[in-house]
Amino acid sequence: MILRWTRYSGASSYKISVAPKSSPSNPIAFAQFGPNTVMGSVNSLSPNINYVFTVEALDNSQGTLSTADVESSTAPETMEPIQTVKPKDSRTLMAEFTLMSEATHYIIRIQNSNGFYREDTVSSSPTEIQSLTPYTEYTLSIMAVNSGGRSQPSLPVTAMTVLPPPQLSTSSPTNDSIVVSWPPIAHAVQYTLSIYKFGSNTNMKHNTSNTNLTISGLDAGSLYMIKGLAWDPEGRQGEGSLHVNQTTRPPTPSSVNVSVVMSNDVAGLSVSWELEVEVFGSIEYFVMSDQNLTCNSTSSSCTLSPVACGEVHVIQVTASNQAGPSFPSSPKVFITFPCPPESLDLVESTEGNCTLTWDTVPHADSYVAFIKRSDGGEETCNTTSNNCTYHCQCGYTYLMSVLAFNQAGASPPGKTLNYTTLPCCPEGVSVSLVSADTLEIMWTASRGAELYQTRAADSSEVILCNDTAPVCALSDLSCDSAYSVVVTPCNEISGCNRACKAHTKDTAPCMPMNLMLNPKNSSCVSVSWAANNRAATYTASAMGDDGKHTCTTTGNSCDIADLPCGSTYEVSVTASSAAGQSLPSYSDSLE
């Protein structure tokens, strides 16, 4: 036991006496030190015994100048060697030893051949010895400690830490494989990997001497927990690594469908696919078209927008999770709705038929022509060609448009062709002679006509009359002529209908000319004239105080008889035919 005291003035020496606490009056050991000593030891004491230590300051005659007592226990006895030492992991040993009742705690001394030295204070058994170097041999001894100090070290034992855990790195290059790699571990001769599929009882083990391993035949989109360890040359299993979670890449999307959708008058392609229900974690889907359109979604569809008419899209869907993207789906070729037909044109072919034509459109399977008449009537025409023939009537305005169709739907509306047919020919046309040189033509107003052009023509002249009303009078016509009369309806848009039929009307006979009177006796006069009518009946009339006397002939002279003598008459000649009556000739006096 080592004691320390303070120097006492005048002391020539110091004396230490030791007695068991249980028998303080029976000292068992003594020691004496010079005047300049303030610390000394007492040997040959028993371990783990409580003693009373008395220090006396003595003068030159060995008289006691001062005294002081202190109680203390000696250190415990040397312990048995550590019973067992086992590695807990690559940096920790588990030591087990026999406890001593008189010890308050214990000190384990750890050393190795590389100069490492450390003492750890522990309180119980078994205990962990941490922060060691992997795969290193250590020498361990133990000491018991109480209030008096520590015991002598026990006999040493040796133990060796195990190999450290592999530092695993994982990736999933495909949806059915995982690649595991790690840095090499010194002294390792083999590695073991354990792989467990989350949510199942599947547990696989793989041994390898390499520092990487490809594990194939796995389920797509599944979570696997991977753990590894190394084996040392002594055949001992090293510390196991922490579990590394690795998800395989998701399965390739299947059953891809594409359709056209509209949103705010903008066309897009709705792409849908079949979701895989037995996958782990969230999956994002990426849709790409070769027309530089993309969209992404966490559900089973998304929309590529905008798209236009007549486009050919090659579409693929890729699923992606934290492991990476899947293989793209099989290419889906989709043709958008066709563009609207252009260059609409209309030809009135045979009477009452119109043919609507247009340019063919790429990717169109069929066409529908819509014909709307100005009176509200509507008609449609379905065809796979580029024309439609329909019954069209005179005097109407037609609005015509064409839509192209394919499996994606209908084309957008194109240009509307506005076409007005020729006005209808007037009906109920009547031509009447209202005077010797005037024809009056009347008819029922016809549909679509804004103006009527009436034309009367004989062999030598043409007379015209333009009016918006359904009546026209043509004057100054030639006498005794056959006129062909045609009423032509016109409008500003479509022009005139030149196909209306003609009506023939004769004018009245020409007026007889060069009247000559030749009295034959006192009661009869011969009247003659010049006339070149085609077929006329002539009537010579003598008007006097006693009335009118006539004669009729188809020639150019006749006799008026039974005239009273001594009377005065005005004589004239008129020609008549089925067409009418001419103007009377100039009159001549007869006495």
Residue 461 has pLDDT above 70, yes or no: yes
Residue 180 has pLDDT above 80, yes or no: yes
Residue 105 has pLDDT above 90, yes or no: yes
Residue range 353-389, pLDDT digits in tens: 899 999 999 999 999 999 999 999 999 999 999 999 9
Which of 66-80, 110-124, 324-338, 488-502 has the lowest average pLDDT?
66-80
The reported pLDDT for the residue numbered 53 is 86
Residue range 438-452, pLDDT digits in tens: 999 999 999 999 999
The reported pLDDT for the residue numbered 402 is 97
Residue 207 has pLDDT above 70, yes or no: yes
The reported pLDDT for the residue numbered 441 is 96
Residue 521 has pLDDT above 70, yes or no: yes
Q: Which residue has the higher pLDDT, 63 or 118?
A: 118
* 34 Rama class: left (phi>0) / alpha (psi -120 to 50) / beta: beta
The reported pLDDT for the residue numbered 253 is 95
Tokens representing residue 286 in the block: 């990426």
In 3D space, the residue among 429, 422, 463 whose CA is nearest the CA of residue 445 turns out to be 429
**Residue in this structure with the two tokens 């028993």, named with its chain if needed:** 46
The reported pLDDT for the residue numbered 21 is 82
Q: Which residue has the higher pLDDT, 555 or 202?
A: 555
Q: How confident is the model at residue 176 (pLDDT cuts 50, 70, 90)?
A: very high
Q: How confident is the model at residue 577 (pLDDT cuts 50, 70, 90)?
A: very high
The reported pLDDT for the residue numbered 3 is 84
Q: What's the average model confidence in pLDDT over 542-558? A: 93
Residue 138 has pLDDT above 90, yes or no: yes
The reported pLDDT for the residue numbered 63 is 87
Q: How confident is the model at residue 334 (pLDDT cuts 50, 70, 90)?
A: very high
Do the Cβ atoms of 529 and 546 come closer than 8 Å? no
Residue range 65-75, pLDDT digits in tens: 899 988 888 88
Residue 306 has pLDDT above 90, yes or no: yes
Q: How far is CA 21 from CA 231, 397, 415, in A?
A: 58, 136, 123
The reported pLDDT for the residue numbered 350 is 64
Kindly report the pTM of this predicted structure.
0.65
The reported pLDDT for the residue numbered 550 is 95
Q: What's the average model confidence in pLDDT over 187-195? A: 97
Q: What's the average model confidence in pLDDT over 95-101? A: 93
Residue 49 has pLDDT above 70, yes or no: yes
List beta partners, residue 508: none
d(CA 103, CA 147): 8
Q: What's the average model confidence in pLDDT over 265-294? A: 94
The reported pLDDT for the residue numbered 61 is 87
Q: What's the average model confidence in pLDDT over 306-322? A: 96
Q: What's the average model confidence in pLDDT over 103-130? A: 95
Q: How far apart are the first and last CA of the chain?
A: 203
Q: How confident is the model at residue 148 (pLDDT cuts 50, 70, 90)?
A: confident
Kindly list the structural domains of the chain, giving each domain's residue range(s) and its CATH number in brackets, ordered by start: 2-73 (2.60.40.10), 84-160 (2.60.40.10), 169-247 (2.60.40.10), 254-335 (2.60.40.10), 345-420 (2.60.40.10), 427-506 (2.60.40.10), 513-590 (2.60.40.10)
Percent of the chain with pLDDT over 70: 100
The reported pLDDT for the residue numbered 10 is 87
> What are the backbone dihedrals phi and psi of residue 510, each rounded to the nearest 5 degrees, phi first?
-75, 150
Do the Cβ atoms of 541 and 550 come closer than 8 Å? yes
Q: What's the average model confidence in pLDDT over 12-23? A: 88
Strand blocks (E) in 189-304: 190-197, 203-208, 212-215, 223-231, 244-247, 254-263, 266-274, 284-289, 293-297, 301-304
Q: How far is CA 542 from CA 305, 488, 509, 525, in A?
A: 103, 46, 20, 10
Q: What's the average model confidence in pLDDT over 411-430? A: 94
Peptide bond preceding 126: is omega within 30 degrees of 0, i.e. cis? yes
Q: What's the average model confidence in pLDDT over 39-48? A: 83
Mean pLDDT of the chain: 93
d(CA 398, CA 374): 6
Residue 166 has pLDDT above 90, yes or no: yes
Residue 94 has pLDDT above 80, yes or no: yes
Q: What's the average model confidence in pLDDT over 106-121? A: 96
The reported pLDDT for the residue numbered 538 is 95
Residue 537 has pLDDT above 80, yes or no: yes
The reported pLDDT for the residue numbered 345 is 95
Residue 89 has pLDDT above 70, yes or no: yes
